[in-house]
Amino acid sequence: MITYHRHKCIIFFYTSHPNDSIFTFKTVETLYPILNKESKIIHTPTPIYVKGTSQPTISLNGDWLFTKNMEDIPNGISKPDFEWEPISVPTEWYMESFQVESGKWAGYYKEFELPIDWENQKTLIRFGAVESECRIYLNGKYVGEHTGSMTQFEKDLTHFLLPAKNQLLIYVRSESLASEISKISHYAKHQVGGILRGVELIAVPQTHINDLYCEAQLSDDLGQGILNTHISLSGKQKNPKIEIVVMERGIEGLPIAGKEVYRQENRLNQLSPIIINAPRLWHAETPFLYTIEISLFENNKKTEVIKRNFGFRKIEIKENILYVNNLPVKLRGVARHDISAYDGRAIKDTASLRRDIEQLRNANCNYIRTSHYPPDSYMLDLCDRYGIFVEGEAPVCWESGKDSYERISQIFYSFKSMVIRDRSHPCILLWSLGNESEWKPKFYNSLLLAKELTPNIPVKFSHSETHGIIKATDIGAKHYPGWKGLMAFENYFRPIIFGEALHLNCYNTSENITDPGLRDMWGDYLKYFVDFIQESPSITGLGIWGCTDEMYYPKGNKPCGYGPWGVVDGFRREKPEFWHMKMSYSPIIVTSKHFQSSNNETLVSLENRYNTQNTNQIEILWKDMNRQGTVEVDIAPGMQGSLHIPHCVKGDTLTITMRDRRGFDLSTWKVPRNYSPYYPMPELAKGDVKVISTDSSYQITSKDIQYTFSRTSGTLVSIKKKGEKIITGPVNMYAIPHLKENEVIDYIPQERSEKEIGFTSSPLTDWTLESEYLTHTEKGISITIHGKYGVNPVELVYSIDNEKRLRIDYVLNIFKIGNGIRQIGIGFNLPKKYNTLGWKRKSLWSTYPDDHIGRTEGIAKAFYPETSSKYLKRRDIPKHSFSKDGNEYGSNDFRSTKQHIITGNFINERGDTINIESNGKQHLRAWILPEYVSFLIANYSDSGNEFYLNYDANRTKYLDAYIAEDGDVAGWIQMNFK
Residue-wise pLDDT tens digits, 483-492: 888 999 999 9
Sort residue 599 into left (φ over 0), alpha (ψ -120 to 50) or beta.
left
* Residue 2 confidence (pLDDT) above 90: no
Domain boundary among 260, 283, 310: 310
Same domain, 509 and 464: yes
Cis preceding linkage at 730, omega within 30 = yes
- pLDDT of the residue at 18: 41
Same domain, 453 and 558: yes
Same domain, 174 and 304: no
* Residue 751 confidence (pLDDT) above 80: no
Same domain, 369 and 453: yes
Q: Judging by beta carbons within 10 Å of its beta carbon (0-12, 13-18, 19+), is residue 294 exposed, middle or buried? A: buried
Q: How far apart are CA 978 and CA 12, in angstroms?
A: 74
Same domain, 283 and 413: no
* Residue 461 belongs to a domain: yes
Look up the CATH number of the domain holding residue 662: 2.60.40.10
* Residue 515 confidence (pLDDT) above 70: yes
Look up the CATH number of the domain holding residue 71: 2.60.120.260
Contact 171, 145 (CB under 8 A): no
Same domain, 75 and 161: yes
Q: Which domain holds residue 145?
A: 52-202
Same domain, 197 and 272: no
| Inter-CA distances, 199 with 57, 61, 73, Å | 10, 6, 22
Same domain, 239 and 115: no
Q: How far apart are CA 394 and CA 150, in angstroms?
A: 9
The string over 486-523, giving b where at least 16 C-beta atoms fall within 10 Å of a residue's C-beta and e elsewhere, is bebbeebbbbbbbbbbbbbbbbbbbbbbbbbbbbbbbb
CA 818 to chain centroid, in Å, comes to 34
Residue-wise pLDDT tens digits, 117-171: 999 999 999 999 999 899 999 999 999 999 999 999 999 999 999 988 999 999 9
Q: How far apart are CA 458 and CA 433, in angstroms?
A: 11
Q: What does the radius of gyration of the chain's CA atoms come to, in whole angstroms?
A: 32
Q: 129: how many CB neighbours lie within 10 A of its CB?
A: 27
Amino acid at 365: C
Same domain, 499 and 618: no
* Residue 856 belongs to a domain: no
The closest of 448, 385, 458 to 411, measured between CA atoms, is 448
**3 state DSSP class of 950:** helix
Same domain, 241 and 334: no
Look up the CATH number of the domain holding residue 457: 3.20.20.80
Residue-wise pLDDT tens digits, 260-280: 999 999 998 888 999 999 999
Contact 875, 895 (CB under 8 A): no
Amino acid at 339: I
Residue-averaged pLDDT of the chain: 91
| Inter-CA distances, 146 with 38, 100, 149, 155, 861, Å | 14, 19, 10, 9, 54
* Residue 37 belongs to a domain: no
| Inter-CA distances, 629 with 254, 430, 598, 625, 787, Å | 22, 41, 17, 12, 62
Q: What is the 3-state secondary structure (H, E, C) of 119-157?
A: CCCEEEEEECCEECEEEEEECCEEEEEEECCCCCEEEEC
Q: Given pLDDT bands bounded at 50, 70 and 90, which one contains residue 760?
A: confident
The closest of 527, 521, 780, 553 to 97, measured between CA atoms, is 553
* Residue 944 belongs to a domain: no
Q: How far apart are CA 768 and CA 510, in angstroms?
A: 30
Locate all alpha helices (DSSP H) within 301-404, ordered by sequence: 350-362, 377-386
- pLDDT of the residue at 742: 52
Element (H or E) spanning 894, and its range?
helix 892-895
Q: Judging by beta carbons within 10 Å of its beta carbon (0-12, 13-18, 19+), is residue 918 exposed, middle or buried? A: buried
The angle subtended at Cα 741 by Cα 735 and Cα 743, nearest 5°, is: 100
The angle subtended at Cα 446 by Cα 442 and Cα 451, nearest 5°, is: 135
Domain boundary among 202, 221, 251: 202
Cis preceding linkage at 372, omega within 30 = yes
* Residue 214 belongs to a domain: yes
Residue-wise pLDDT tens digits, 826-879: 999 999 999 999 999 999 999 999 999 999 999 999 999 887 655 545 677 888
Q: How far apart are CA 560 and CA 546, in angstroms?
A: 17
Q: What is the 3-state secondary structure (H, E, C) of 574-617?
A: ECHHHHHHHHHCCCEEECCCCCEEECCEEEEEEEECCCCCCHHH
Q: How far apart are CA 300 and CA 241, in angstroms?
A: 8
- pLDDT of the residue at 256: 79
Q: How far apart are CA 811 and CA 827, in angstroms?
A: 14
The closest of 489, 429, 481, 482 to 454, measured between CA atoms, is 429
Cis preceding linkage at 132, omega within 30 = yes
Total domains in the chain come to: 4
* Residue 26 confidence (pLDDT) above 60: no
- pLDDT of the residue at 672: 96
Q: Given pLDDT bands bounded at 50, 70 and 90, which one contains residue 6?
A: very low
What is the phi/psi pair of residue 472, to 5°?
Answer: -65, -35
Q: How far apart are CA 643 and CA 597, in angstroms?
A: 12
Contact 795, 713 (CB under 8 A): no
Q: How far apart are CA 826 and CA 818, in angstroms?
A: 18
Residue-wise pLDDT tens digits, 445-455: 999 999 999 99
The closest of 203, 219, 217, 274 to 44, measured between CA atoms, is 203
Query: For 764, which DSSP code?
Result: P
Long-range contacts of 676-680 (CB under 8 A, 24+ apart): 677/920, 678/919, 678/920, 679/842, 679/902, 679/918, 679/919, 679/920, 680/919
Contact 857, 926 (CB under 8 A): no
DSSP secondary structure, 56-99, as one string: SEEE--EEEEEES---S--SS-SS-SS--EEEEESS-TGGGT--
Query: For 188, which DSSP code?
Result: T
* Residue 13 belongs to a domain: no
Residue-wise pLDDT tens digits, 174-229: 999 999 999 999 888 899 999 999 999 999 999 999 999 999 999 999 999 999 99
Q: How far apart are CA 99 and CA 554, in angstroms?
A: 11
Residue-wise pLDDT tens digits, 638-695: 999 999 999 999 999 999 999 999 999 999 999 999 988 889 989 999 988 999 999 9
* Residue 918 belongs to a domain: no
* Residue 752 confidence (pLDDT) above 80: no
DSSP secondary structure, 492-554, as one string: -SS-EEEEEEEEPS-S-HHHHHH-THHHHHHHHHHHHHHHHHHT-SSEEEEEEE-SB-EEE--
**Higher confidence at residue 742 or residue 112?**
112
Same domain, 190 and 227: no
Q: How far apart are CA 969 and CA 949, in angstroms?
A: 26
Domain boundary among 548, 563, 584: 584
DSSP secondary structure, 738-752, as one string: PPPTTTTTT--TT--
Contact 419, 453 (CB under 8 A): yes
* Residue 54 confidence (pLDDT) above 80: yes
Same domain, 403 and 476: yes
The closest of 775, 772, 773, 779 to 702, measured between CA atoms, is 779
Cα atoms in the 13 Å half-sphere on the side-chain side of 247 = 12
Percent helix, strand and coil across the chain, each to the nearest 5: 15, 40, 45
* Residue 471 confidence (pLDDT) above 80: no
Residue-wise pLDDT tens digits, 905-915: 999 999 999 99
**pTM given for the model:** 0.94
How do beta strands 792-800 and 805-813 pair? antiparallel
* Residue 44 belongs to a domain: no
Amino acid at 28: V
- pLDDT of the residue at 945: 84
The angle subtended at Cα 212 by Cα 206 and Cα 215, nearest 5°, is: 160
Q: 187: how many CB neighbours lie within 10 A of its CB?
A: 17
Q: How far apart are CA 841 and CA 838, in angstroms?
A: 10
Average pLDDT score over residue span 791-817: 93
